[in-house]
Structure 1
Amino acid sequence: MRTIKAVTLVIGFGLALQALYSAYAGGWEPTVHRSLALAFSAALIVLLKPFALEPFMRHGWLKALGYLFDILLFGIIAAAIYLLIEKAADVDSLLVSFSIEEQWLALLAVLALFELTRRVFGLPLLLVSSFSLVYCLYGAYMPWVFSHSGFSLEQSVETIWYGLQGVFGFPTGVVVQLIFVFIVFGVVLERSGAGDSLIRIAFYLTGHTRGGAGHAAIVASALFGSMSGSVTANVAGTGSFTIPMIKRRGFSPAFAGAVEGAASSGGQIMPPVMGAAVFLMADLTATPYLTICLAALIPALFYYGNLFLMVTLEARKAGIQPLPPEQRQRLDKGDWINAIMFIGPILTIIAVLLLGRSPAMAGFWATIAAVVLGFINPAVRRKPAILLEAMAQGGIAGAKILVAVASIGVILAVLNLTGFGLKFALLVQSLGGDSLFIGLVLMAVACLALGMGMPTLPAYLIIVLVMGKTMTNLGLEPLAIHMFVFYFGIMSALTPPVALAAFTAAPIAGANPMATAFVSMKLAFVGFVIPFVFVYNPELLLLGDFSVQSLLWIAARLLLAIWLLGSGLVGYLSAPLGIWVRVAHLLAGTLLLLDDPLWQGLGLAAALLLLARGMIIARRPEVAGQVL
């Protein structure tokens, strides 16, 4: 086992080094670079998650059979990649043909890739990728709009495996040359000790509030999630500390897990880092990274402002008071010095981008800064190997994403080959008719369904690939509609039946996973609402020509709506709200968000009346504890 661990760390470290090299000097020839990166990533997955360790393969001869299966699995992928490199020149010149053995080798390699994806990310991505392959081969026999003209095995594997339109296409190239380095950066930043200081600072800043630990979890997860780019890693990393603290303050286990799940999911919408998926968005929309960060800022502040409000209302409802001053988190000089380990690399990213260099170069220098500043941590100075292992773990994390994105490349190839994306867009358009709202709702539902059970980057990529034509047909601001898809890809991590963030938090909280998921959805309701708001009001993203007056108007309406909807969902302000008052809050908040000025005016009038009513009643001491 030690030998296997050492080999995985060496391969992971090598992948991390190639990510740094690619970010600084540019990649090699695309086919060679992408295929070799995938080959080493596949080797890592086989070593980390051998088939022999599956629950049903751990005994006797089955275990030996499992190891033989892994050798065969990797051998197929390696042989198919070798053949791909050999034929690369012929593929580019369109003079290539494939024997039946080469066709079947490519097909088996694709199936092997699907199996590795299952080991890392479970069934959802496997099912979507497998369905796309089956559709490519047998879609000619399907009914209605799903039927296509039919493609031979040779035509299919030429596009899916042997060309640069499928497994080794654009998404894989973006991961290898751009996103990989940011994955390494996030892991190095986390392992350097910056995360521990962030959590202590978060508790220090929020110790005086009613929400206390709940608010601290929101702050810590927003910062930590931004740099990690992984919802589950964020929940596990910060949640193991914050969730028990939230429970000790008197919140229910389901609520404690839900706060961490909702806050961790939102980390990727909070500038300046926003995980890794935002760099893919920058490439797909041809929008500068800093422009996307600026566009994301106001919606992200509303999202986290809403979480703060919901935790405060729940604390009031449970009768929780702020911690006494003597029990609050205290910081020493070392904590503030350690904060430099986080602030320094973030400022490095911003500075490099402001100098006009590429995002990949920003990722390179940010990683170098994270390594250098990591020596501020005494533990790192005593044992510098921590940073080497962090680099290796970053390479391993990147390998997992690369395998998933390579599987998504199969979907991309099938969509291009069959034209299904256009058919799907026409179907959505026919169902939605001329209604933009219905079209957006259908797209939101599709985003939630396609993103369930997947990390944000693969989820966003699949959604964009499948929904691309639909997004174009809506005729909206490209960045606004990509942000819409991005938000719902993130929110899929909170949406049952496959709610990754909530299901990761639930065991830590000792809560029912499904109950945690539903509470998470309630806490993060703004994440489901605000994408519709900025599509109809792109000034919220600071896009195009807009006036400060229009920005302030939509911001004021959204602020009031969050207060009304949040209090209506929790059922509490200064005292419990009666059922009809809750309905009035929910109705007024909804009216404020509608696009019609008349309904907005009615919602504003109702909001002001409810606000005045709440303030008047709150001053009456005799109503304490009574239903308002």
Structure 2
Amino acid sequence: MGKGVQDSKNIMKRLVLFIAIVLSLFQLYTGGFGLLTAMLQRSLHLTLVLILIFLLYPVHFSKKWRWIDFLAILLAIGSCIYIFLTYEDLLFRVGDPNMFDIFFGIVTILLVLEATRRVTGWILATIGALFIFYSYFGAILPGIFHSTNMSTNRFISLMYMSTDGLWGTTLGVAATFVALFIIFGAFLNATGAGKVFIDLAYIVGGRFRGGPAKVAVISSALMGTVSGSPVANVSTTGQFTIPLMKSVGYRPKVAGAIEAVASTGGSIMPPIMGAGAFVMAEMTGIPYAKIIIAAAIPAILYYLSVYFYVDFEAAKENLKGMAKDELPVFKEVFFKGFHLYIGLGMLIYLLVFAKASPMFSAFWSIVAIVVSYVVLYFKQVDWNFLTKALEDGAKGMLLTTVACATAGVVVGVANLTGIGVRLTTLMVNLGESSILLTLVVTMVACIIMGMGLPPTASYILLGVLTAPALIKLGVEPLFAHMFVFYFACLAPITPPVALASYTGAGIAKSDPMETSFTSAKIGLVAFIIPYMFIFGPELLAQGPPLNIIWAFIMATVGVFVLAVGLTGFYRRNLTWYERILAIGTALLLITPELITDIIGFILLGILAVLIYFTRKKEVENLENGEFENSI
């Protein structure tokens, strides 16, 4: 009996591996040699993802319920075959579906919702179901939520038989360049680039006070921009950095929070931004190069604020760095990472200088990583890295794909019923009385949606539902989409549902809620900057160069002072009123306005005088006390 169970598990593992490799190879082939027609590309991608989900996430632990998973797989395959066989006729039948169109349409949407529930939990699946119910019952609702009656024929026509619903842009993004960048990250990890990132971070920051925390900041920034998944980033780099932070004296909740904040920031870190930069370029038509330039200053300020925080926290707790013999040797680490430099160099060259498409750039960067890794380290190569990368890449697509598919249903219903336009009108009316209030509402919506979605999928959904309102209020499209994107990325460290913080707490063995609130405190600057760049475009590198440089310098001073206020330490422990003064000063300096800079400098001078003279007095008292004691 035991042998039979083990054989069954082995067969399942091989099946999962086979499907995963097929999915990754399909994405690589279409990325390098040309996409299929939109609906065919997306349906085949989604089908392979659904098969993997129903294999990896069974409906129940009991084996007797396994037949449900295999039935779901057969239905998913049947729907895909149906689309391939009837694709041309399907488009001509839009508005007048036959019974097979309706059957496979309903089945596919239900499979997507169930797969979403299994992978992401109930939140997003419930939102998708509520929007579907709304499309049918919106006619009985009053006021702004009232919509016209919806027939099944019309619903299936738009949701399943066209590229406006399930097969829309949101799934298209997941089925093309997002999938390729996930595979790109998987190849980086499989070839040891993750270890190189961490070792380089140790070399740069490990020897300074609170060294492991600085390692977490640097390594997570490097890993996060590629992976785009804060939770996955915490799970990987956090296994190394969190125990080390605890070993040098960081409190568990602080260690877990620092890693969570550092990992979350990777989603806003150019040049990849977890594929968010490419999604934004696709949605807005803004050139990719302009987006990553705009994202650079806020990302730098974010990581400077975290770095300053961990430095002052280390000084406050008198935490030391790591000994020289505990650190990696630079020469050894550097030569282990040549394939990494070649792959990332190729990616940046193709994207920024050659202005190639994201898919073309990702494909040839993957090729560059594989070829250079094999050529440079041929004798040390473990050829299992190929299957590992292809398998991990496919598994990494699951959450993003089903989240984007469900988001496509939501966006389709919003367009079909007109609720999206009405919500935009409502927000515009709200903004006429106070644009700040509209920004706050948008922020809250982004954070709530981000609780159950990865940053990229959350941004896609909110970019359609909320960004148009901000644009109608006069906010530049780049600023509006950056605002939405940033807060979609910050949900993983925002209480009460802060998944990155919870993951960090699990590794640190700290209280999840305390860790999430500490994360929000450490990452406070990220909640401030989006408001600042709405009213001051210099922080998005927009405007005269001198203005941009001045705004960046002032904001850098501001995040330094903010870290002082949040930790309550600079050369000594600060009093409560000094901390309030420091935080207020920081907010004024971060705001890109001349008058706020002047007021901020005045308050900074007052704060410096308070700290300097009380510090001097403490030293004098200490010296006098020591002199009296010696007598």
Aligned to 1:49: 57
Per-residue deviation, 1:273: 2.2
One-letter amino acid of the structure 1 residue matched with residue 25 of structure 2: L
Q: 1:530 to 1:153 in 2, by over 3 A?
A: same
What does residue 598 of structure 2 align with?
A: 601
The 10-residue stretch of structure 1 (583-592 or 385-394) with the greater mean CA deviation from structure 2:
583-592
1:448-459 counterparts in 2 under 5 A?
448-459=447-458
8 Å contact kept, 2:498–2:516: yes
Do the aligned partners of residues 86 and 215 (structure 1) sit closer, same or farther apart at CA in structure 2, a change above 3 Å counting? Answer: same
Aligned to 1:6: 14
Local SS of the residue matching 1:208: coil
**C-alpha distance in structure 2 between counterparts of 1:376 and 1:505, whole Å:** 37
Aligned residue runs from structure 1 range 97-496, under 5 A? 97-99=96-98, 102-323=101-322, 325-331=323-329, 333-353=331-351, 354-375=353-374, 381-496=380-495
Structure 1 residues 519-558: aligned runs within 5 Å: 519-543=518-542, 546-558=543-555
Distance 1:200 1:105, change over 3 A: same
TM-fit CA distance, 1:328: 4.2
The 2-side partners of 1:393 and 1:581 are apart by 49
Letter in 1 for 2:567: V
Q: Does 1:33 find its partner at 2:41?
A: yes
Deviation, structure 1 residue 491? 0.5
Distance 1:337 1:599, change over 3 A: closer
Distance in 1 (alpha carbons) for counterparts of 2:20 and 2:215? 33
The answer to whether residue 563 in structure 2 is matched with residue 566 in structure 1 is yes
CA distance in 2, matches of 1:565, 1:551: 20
Q: CA deviation at 1:490?
A: 0.8
Deviating more after overlay: 447-456 vs 398-407: 398-407
Q: 1:586: how far off?
A: 2.1
Q: Retained in 2: the 8 A contact 1:42–1:116?
A: yes
Counterpart Cα distance in 2 of 1:295 and 1:380: 43
* 1:524 shift after superposition: 0.6
SS at match of 2:466: helix
Instruction: Report if the CA contact (8 A) 1:575-1:623 is conserved.
Output: no
In 2, are the aligned partners of 1:488 and 1:528 still within 8 Å (CA)? yes
CA drift of 1:607 comes to: 1.7
1:332 and 1:539, CA in 2 relative to 1: closer, same or farther beyond 3 A? closer
The secondary structure found in structure 1 opposite 2:192 is helix
CA contact (8 A) 2:101 2:156 kept: no
Change (3 A) 1:376 1:316: farther
Q: 1:401 to 1:598 in 2, by over 3 A?
A: closer
Aligned to 2:611: 614
Secondary structure in 2 matching 1:349: helix
**C-alpha spacing 1:139/1:81, structure 2 compared with 1 (3 Å):** farther
User: Residues 510-546 of structure 1: CA distance to partner in whole angstroms, max 9, x if unpaired?
Assistant: 0111111110011111111111112212122223xx2
- Give deviations 1:189-247, integer Å, cap 9, x for gaps: 01111111211121111123212100001000000111112111110110001000000
Residues 1:121 and 1:206: Cα distance change in structure 2 (over 3 Å) = same
- Contact 1:192–1:380, Cα closer than 8 Å, also in 2: no
Instruction: Name the amino acid aligned to 1:391.
Output: L
Shift of 1:96: 5.5
Is residue 51–residue 76 contact of structure 2 (8 Å, CA) maintained in 1?
A: no
Aligned length: 614
What is the rounded CA distance, in whole Å, between the counterparts of 1:394 and 1:615 in structure 2? Answer: 54
CA distance in 1, matches of 2:620, 2:465: 54
Q: Per-residue displacement from partner, 1:31-70 (whole Å, max 9, x unpaired)? A: 22211121111111111111132xxxx3xxxx31x21211
Change (3 A) 1:583 1:527: same
CA distance in 1, matches of 2:302, 2:219: 15
Give the 3-state SS of the residue equivalent to 2:167 in structure 1.
coil
Distance change >3 Å, CA 385–CA 321, structure 1 → 2:
closer
CA contact (8 A) 1:167 1:409 kept: yes
Map Cα deviations across residues 151-172 of structure 1 (whole Å, 9 max, x no partner): 1122112111221111111122
Farther off after superposition, 291-300 or 217-226: 291-300
Q: Deviations over 1:128-147 (max 9, x none)?
A: 21221111121112222111
Paired position in structure 1 for 2:577: 580
Distance 1:108 1:269 in 2: 37
Whole-angstrom CA distance in 1 between matches of 2:303 and 2:97: 54
Give the distance between the partners of 2:278 and 2:454, measured in 1 at CA.
15
Describe the shift of the 1:18–1:101 C-alpha distance in structure 2 as closer, same or farther (beyond 3 A).
closer
Provide the rounded CA distance (Å) in 1 between the counterparts of 2:537 and 2:379: 45
SS at match of 1:209: coil
Cα distance in 2 between the residues matched to 1:437 and 1:600: 21
Contact conserved, 1:193 with 1:374, CA < 8 A, in 2? no
Aligned AA for 2:347?
I
CA–CA separation in structure 2 for the residues paired with 1:474 and 1:338: 51
CA contact (8 A) 2:27 2:179 kept: yes
Distance 1:618 1:321 in 2: 22
Residue pair 1:9, 1:393 contacting (<8 A) in 2 also: no
Structure 2 residue 590 is the aligned partner of structure 1 residue 590: no
Matched residue of 2:97: which SS? Answer: coil
Contact 1:338 1:377 survives alignment (8 Å): no
Matched residues in 1 for 2:605 and 2:570: separation? 15
Q: 1:33 to 1:475 in 2, by over 3 A?
A: same
Query: If the length of structure 1 is used for normalisation, what is the TM-score?
Result: 0.93
Deviations 1:68-91 (Å, cap 9, x if unpaired)? 211222233333333334443234
SS in 2 for 1:51: coil
Cα distance in 2 for residues equivalent to 1:376 and 1:454: 39
- After superposition, the C-alpha distances for 1:543-568 in whole angstroms (9 at most, x for unaligned) are 3xx22332133223322322332222
- Structure-2-length-normalised TM-score: 0.92
1:603 to 1:361, Cα distance in 2 relative to 1, 3 A: same
Q: Please, what is the CA RMSD of the aligned residues?
A: 2.2
Output the CA distance in 2 between the equivalents of 1:516 and 1:71. 40
1:505-520 mapped onto 2 (5 Å cutoff): 505-520=504-519
For the residues of structure 2 that align with 1:525 and 1:623, how far apart are their CA atoms? 36
Once the two structures are TM-superposed, the CA of residue 619 in structure 1 deviates from its matched residue by 4.5
Cα distance in 2 between the residues matched to 1:106 and 1:495: 37
Instruction: Name the CA distance, whole Å, in 2 between partners of 1:595 and 1:435.
Output: 20
Per-residue deviation, 1:327: 4.5
Distance 1:617 1:19 in 2: 63
